[in-house]
Structure 1
Amino acid sequence: AFCDVFVDAAIEQALRDSERRSAGPGVDSDAGDTTARREAERLQQFLAAVEATLLSDASAFCTLLRSLSSRHIPQFVPTFVPSLHLLTEALAQPLLGRIETTFPSIFMPAYPQIFVVNYTALQGFLRGLERRVTKGEVMAFRRSEAYVRFQKKWKLQVYFSIKQKEHLAALEAILAKRCTLDQRTMHNDQMYWMAGSVAVLQQIEAVWHPHSYLHVMFDRALRFTAELLARYAAYVEAFLKALQHHDDTHTHTQTHTATTTTTTSA
Structure 2
Amino acid sequence: MDEGTNRQLIQDHFATLKFGAESVGAAGTTIAAPISDYQAATIDLGAKTTSEINKLELSIAVTALVGGALALFSLGTSAAGAAAAISADVALTVNAIQASYRTTQMVRVIGLASLAAGAVGAVDAFHAVPEVDLDRAITGLAALIAIKVFADDDGALTVATKYEDLNPAPEVPLGGLTDASETYVRGKHVEGGANVTPKKSVFDGSEDLDELVERAQDTEARGPNDYGNYERDVDAGREIGTTSQEAGARPTTRYKVITDRWGTVVNMYPI
What TM-score comes out, normalization by structure 1 length? 0.29
Higher helix share: 1
Between structure 1 and structure 2, the one with the greater Rg is: 2
What TM-score comes out, normalization by structure 2 length? 0.29
Higher strand share: 2
